[in-house]
Chains A and B, each alone.
Chain A
Amino acid sequence: MANSVASPATDGASTRSSREADGQRKLLARSRGRFRDSPAALLLLVPVLILFGIAVVFPLIDTIRLSFFDIKGLGKPKFVGIGNYIKLFTDPAFRNTMWTTLVFTVSTTFFSVGLGWALAMLCAFAPRQTLPFRVMIFAAFGISEAVAGYMWIGILRPDSGGLLNAVIGLFSPGFAQPWLGDPRTAIWALVATATWGAVGLPLMLCFAAVQQIPKSLFEAAYLDGASHWQVMRNIMVPLSMSGVRVAVFINLLGMLRAFDIIYILTGGGPVRSTETVGYFMYRESMTQFKLGYGAAATVILLVAVLIVSVPAIIQRTAGAR
């Protein structure tokens, strides 16, 4: 600002070159311009900044702060430094939770993107005929996690009234596996349910990527005598990878955050075998009232989410103009 205030005086001095004066004037205009819109911007942004501050900035900082305290219910918080984190990593339940999170997140992403991608490749051969089928599969994505969980409870019922047991019962009569009651199968029941809902998006994204491939490319390939298999392997597979990347990221992020589907389907059980970090923090803080401990688990979840999101954050930050 000091520069621009001085500039009118130097403008008059004939010893200064006109080029420099011009530069000074531009600087003046720019520095005025920087604040020119401030009142209007403030007016438009104030409600957004207040709500964003309460709902995002404050909770983020406060969660990190609370993770250094031992808080039991309404008792007085006691500063424990990294005590909560040390406790987390020596807690067998939390170590099991991290393993469950890894298995659930990676397998659900793998199965949903793999299946969605494969279906998109098949749909690309007959886009019009498969439209109703794509809508049917995509519909599962439109059903909330809570309701999806409820629907699958019916399928996974432990008696022969559960569809899965009934279907297996066709081949081995009397088969009755308590899918949700057995720690070995409960996690896979959860993966299956989450995959059911999560296939729609990869399908749509990969299908859109394939649809963007110019038709002339296919025509040229077929004219040269390429088989369907060759067209798929050499054109559709490599050119659909943009959709796969986006879908992998979205589903990884979604599964790390999962809560509703676990709450409804298994409630974290049996014997805490289906608790992910996102569910563990809820259980510790909201049912056991160990707020500081829950906050520390939330910070671990946050770190996992940030690691997965690094490429997206770089891309968004670079693109922010």
Chain B
Amino acid sequence: MIGRVPRWPTVIVGIVAVIWVIPIIGIVATSIRPLAETSRGWWRIDEFTLTLSAWQRVWEAYPLAPALGTTAFLAAVATLGTMLLTPAAAYAFHFLKFPFRRLLLIIIINAFVLPQQVVVIPLFQLWREMGLIDNFLAVLIPYVGLSFAWSIYLVKTFLEDFPPELVEAARIDGAGPLQTFWFVVLPNTLNSVFAVGILQFLWTWNALLLPMLYLRTNVPLPVILARINGTYELNWDLQSVAAIVTTIVPLVIFLVFQRQFASGSQARTGAKE
């Protein structure tokens, strides 16, 4: 801002920012120092040793490695599913004419308000009847199905700026609606589809409630963290490693793509300035 920049706002924001990262520093410090040193507080430095012992032992103590694989697999499949199906639906809603188009659109884009608690009981009963408890489909179907409420809105909003002349030109040249989608519209929506993918990836990676209820043997990282947390064992070092492993991938992706995330979560919760 113009010429004279006062110093004090920066100082205040800086102090708050340092306070804000203390919890993060806390679990990192706890994970790389011996338990004996940190049990009375990870910030004490009367004795100071760095060790990767917890990072080595944790894979034996908790099933973190298979959980990491499960989490990555679930997040990848759910993200791909959403990224493949969303642009097709957004294109159909924006450029094609068919009965009940507006009604269906209104229902889908307003479903963003629904909390995930709504699916808990009905899907629990349905999966139990169908024998899908402990099957990855039990979480993948709601992951992808719930995502449409915000993903279609996000891509369709993007399509509103897409020049309709391009679509008309393709039609006049004899391209059918599917060809128009594949060759003209889809290649130009990749940015918004990518943003949808990032949001869906973070959401599914961090999901706790549905996998905790519908999966038993192969569970993702947040469920493992919840189980470890419930045992009241005093092994803060191992638990901290588990927490870091759980959050590092989504955190890095989040920080790299933070711009898309800020605008995307706006679309996800419906508000537009």
B11 — nearest CB in chain A belongs to which residue? A122
Q: What residues on A are CB-neighbors of B115 within 8 Å?
A: 256-257, 278, 301-302, 305
Residue contact B21 to A136, C-beta cutoff 8 Å: yes
Interface residues of A in 182-213 (CB under 8 A from B): 196, 199, 201, 204-205, 208-209
The answer to whether residues A139 and B24 also contact, given A40-B177, A144-B250 and a CB cut-off of 8 A, is yes
Residue of B nearest to A56 (CB): B111
Q: Convert B80-91 into 0s and 1s, putting 1 for each residue whose CB lies closer than 8 angstroms to a CB of A.
A: 000001101101
Question: What is the interface of chain A mostly: helix, strand, loop, or mixed?
Answer: helix
A41 interface contact, C-beta 8 A:
yes
Which B residues lie within 8 Å of A302 (CB)? 114-115, 118
List residues 145-190 of chain A with CB under 8 A from any CB of chain B: 145-155, 160-163, 166
Asked if A124 is an interface residue, CB under 8 A from chain B, the answer is yes
Closest chain A residue, CB of each to CB of B102: A320
- For B98, give its contact among A41, A47, A130, A209 (CB under 8 Å): A41
Residues of A within 8 A of B213 (CB): 286
Q: Verify if A99 is at the interface (C-beta below 8 Å from B).
A: no
A313 to B222 alpha-carbon distance, docked (Å): 32
| Residue B243, interface by CB 8 Å | yes
Say yes or no for B61: interface residue by CB 8 A criterion: no
B2 near A222: Cβ-Cβ < 8 Å: yes
Residues in A whose Cβ lies below 8 Å from that of B101: 41
Q: Which residues of A contact B149 (CB under 8 A)?
A: 52, 56
Return the chain B residue nearest A219 by Cβ.
B2
Complex Cα–Cα for A257 and B68 (A): 26
Tell me whether A41 and B177 are in contact in the complex, defined as CB-CB below 8 angstroms, given that A161-B39, A250-B269, A305-B114 are known contacts. yes
Q: Which of B23, B111, B225, B255 contacts A155 (CB 8 A)?
A: B23
Q: In the complex the two chains form, what is the Cα distance from A45 to B99 in whole Å?
A: 13
Does the CB pair B222–A257 fall under 8 Å? no
Most buried by B among A160, A209, A228: A228
Q: How far is the CA of A151 from the CA of B244 in the complex (A)?
A: 10
Q: Which A residue sits closest to B242, measured CB to CB? A: A150
Contact A137 B23 (CB under 8 A): no
In the assembled complex, B229 has its CB within 8 A of some CB on chain A: yes
Q: How far is the CB of A264 from chain B (nearest CB, A)?
A: 6
Chain B: how many interface residues by the 8 Å CB criterion?
A: 105
Interface locus among A7-15, A86-94, A240-248: A240-248
Q: A160-B40, A253-B113, A302-B118 are in contact. Are A138 and B145 (CB under 8 A)?
A: no
Query: A38-B99, A142-B251, A209-B273 in contact; A161/B40 too (CB < 8 A)?
Result: yes
List the A side residues contacting B45 at CB < 8 Å.
none
Q: Mark A20-33, 1 if CB is under 8 A from B, else 0.
A: 00000000000001
Report Cα–Cα, A319/B178, bound state, in Å.
Answer: 26
For A295, what are the chain B residues with a Cβ–Cβ distance below 8 Å? 121
Please tell me if the beta carbons of A44 and B88 are within 8 angstroms of each other in the complex. Answer: yes
- Cβ of B78 to closest chain A Cβ, rounded Å: 11
What per-residue 1/0 map shows which CB atoms of A248-289 lie under 8 Å from chain B? 011001101101100110010000000000100110011000
Footprint of A on B, CB under 8 Å? 1-3, 5-6, 9-10, 12-14, 16-18, 20-24, 26-27, 30, 39-43, 85-86, 88-89, 91-92, 96-99, 101-102, 104-111, 113-126, 141-142, 144-146, 148-149, 152-153, 160, 176-178, 181, 202, 205-206, 208-209, 213, 222, 225-226, 229-230, 236, 239-240, 243, 246-247, 250-251, 254-255, 258, 261-262, 265-266, 269-273
Q: Which 8 A-B pairs have CB atoms at the shortest separation, nearest pair first?
A: A55-B145, A142-B254, A144-B206, A133-B17, A62-B122, A40-B177, A37-B96, A122-B9
Question: Could you tell me which A residues sit within 8 Å of B by CB distance?
Answer: 33-38, 40-45, 47-49, 51-60, 62-63, 66, 115, 119, 122-127, 129-130, 132-155, 160-163, 166, 196, 199, 201, 204-205, 208-209, 215, 218-219, 222, 228, 242-243, 245-246, 249-250, 253-254, 256-257, 259-260, 263-264, 267, 278, 281-282, 285-286, 291, 294-295, 298, 301-302, 305-306, 309, 312-313, 315-317, 319-321
